[in-house]
Amino acid sequence: MAPNVPPAPCRAEIDLDAVEHNARVLVDAAQGARVMAVVKADAYGHGAVAVSLAALRGGADALGVTTIAEALELREAGITAEILAWIYLPSDDVRAALEADVDLAVPSPAHLDTVIQAARRTGLRARVTPKIDTGLARSGITPEDWPEVLTRLVAAEAGGLIEVTGLMAHFAHADDPGNPVIDQQVARLHEAVEQARAAGLACPVNHHANSAATLTRPDDGFEMVRPGIALYGLDPVGDLDVDLRPVMSFTADILMIKRLSAGQGVSYGHTWHAPHDTTVALISAGYADGVWRILSGQIDVEIGGVRYPNVGRVCMDQFVVDLGPTPDPTIRAGDTAVLFGDGTNGGPTAAEWADKLGTIHYEVVTAVRGRARRHVLGRHAGGDKGSAK
Ligand SMILES: *Cc1c(COP(=O)(O)O)cnc(C)c1O
């Protein structure tokens, strides 16, 4: 960036030490199963390269992404760990994945055609993870297609075109640990693994568990787990007794502070009027940066260990908080407000925003955008600095 350009007025601060800590917690919870850290969608908005390195330092064995482009970004950053990508079209040219030693999921017969064709054209053996639909009914090989796909997998492996690393599947109800569908899905994947092994595939590393299942179902008997959200320090179930540390803090600068007289309406539409003379602070983030307008009047920010409520509508670029009639005189323009973070000091969290929005914290952290720039913190942040989005 050109010199003398002021820094971004709002930030996603990423605590890499927390990622490393959470990875260790997940390795422990996996009870000997390997851990594939899921860093799809730019590591849930946290920055894929820096998070991947931190997760590997914390003991993760492999990385999971959606697209081949995401996998290649990690390879270009010099990451040599095993990487699995699970979203591409049957019409895509996947040779780049094979050339970069990226494993590919195979969620349908047409995807198998694509991978086999790429193996033929490159002369490289593709590492594939057939994705079984055990009940989510999203992607995955259906029970109807499975016998034929299995036959073709056996032939392609025997022909040296592919190596089947294992089977994978994804849960529908993992965040509801008592749900009986979880057991059904586990049983279906075990059955598919048995069928594959009986047909001659070794299937050494099979996996079903996301974060919720990793933390609540350590006894599923598969060789790897595939946690995402817990790596970012967010509890996938909501009431787990696990030492996860939230990784992202969404912070913004105080642009100015001003006195208001009783009765003054604030922000568009004057949806809030000062009930008495008061002082407000203007916060430099808005809905373009991931502060949902629908949260107007419902969120607090934390400044210096104290929570202050948003008043009036959240705008595209800024919103107002009420500091009260006798504000802390040490609060100044340029100070930092925490919109959500790790909850220490009683501050707001992404989970709190999610509850108010009627959504999940996954959506809150992945929605930080716009002018928000990433600031990477932690013992190993140095090498990753400047990885602003
Ligand atoms: C996103 C994703 C995960 C990780 O899920 P979390 O709930 O974030 O742990 C695992 N597997 C697949 C296939 C996914 O798409």
Residue 74 has which token pair?
Answer: 């990690």
Is 268 considered catalytic here? yes
Instruction: Dump pLDDT digits (tens) for 16-61.
Output: 999 999 999 999 999 999 999 999 999 999 999 999 999 999 999 9
- Spacing, Cα 45 to ligand 1 middle (Å): 14
Instruction: Dump pLDDT digits (tens) for 170-220.
Output: 999 999 999 999 999 999 999 999 999 999 999 999 999 999 999 999 889
Report the distance separating Cα 340 and Cα 66, nearest Å.
Answer: 27
Q: What is the residue with the minimal CA distance to atom 4 of ligand 1? A: 228
Among the residues of the chain, which ranges form H helices? 16-29, 40-45, 48-57, 68-76, 95-99, 109-122, 146-158, 180-198, 211-216, 350-357, 361-366
Q: What is the residue with the minimal CA distance to atom 1 of ligand 1? A: 228
- What mean pLDDT is predicted for residues 227-252? 97
pTM: 0.96
Identify which of 367, 265, 370 has the alpha carbon closest to the alpha carbon of residue 320.
Answer: 265
Report which DSSP code applies to 292.
Answer: -
Q: What is the CATH number of domain 16-232?
A: 3.20.20.10
Residues of the chain with CATH 3.20.20.10: 16-232
Instruction: Dump pLDDT digits (tens) for 312-364.
Output: 999 999 999 999 999 999 999 999 999 999 998 889 999 999 999 999 999 99
- Residue 305 CB neighbour total at 10 angstroms: 11
Is 258 considered catalytic here? no
Atom of ligand 1 nearest to the CA of 38: 4
| Residue 384 confidence (pLDDT) | 46
Instruction: Dump pLDDT digits (tens) for 248-282.
Output: 999 999 999 999 999 999 999 999 999 999 999 99
- Spacing, Cα 371 to ligand 1 middle (Å): 27
Residues of the chain with CATH 2.40.37.10: 248-358
- DSSP output for 50-94: HHHHHHHHTT--EEEESSHHHHHHHHHTT--SEEEE----TTS--
* Per-residue confidence band for 1, with pLDDT thresholds at 50, 70 and 90: low
- Assess contact for 53 and 75: CB atoms under 8 A: no
| Cβ of 210 below 6 Å from ligand 1 | yes
| Residue 345 confidence (pLDDT) | 82
Q: What is the CATH number of domain 248-358?
A: 2.40.37.10
Report which DSSP code applies to 141.
Answer: B
By most ligand atoms within 8 Å of CB, the mutation choice from 226, 237, 247, 365 for ligand 1 is: 226
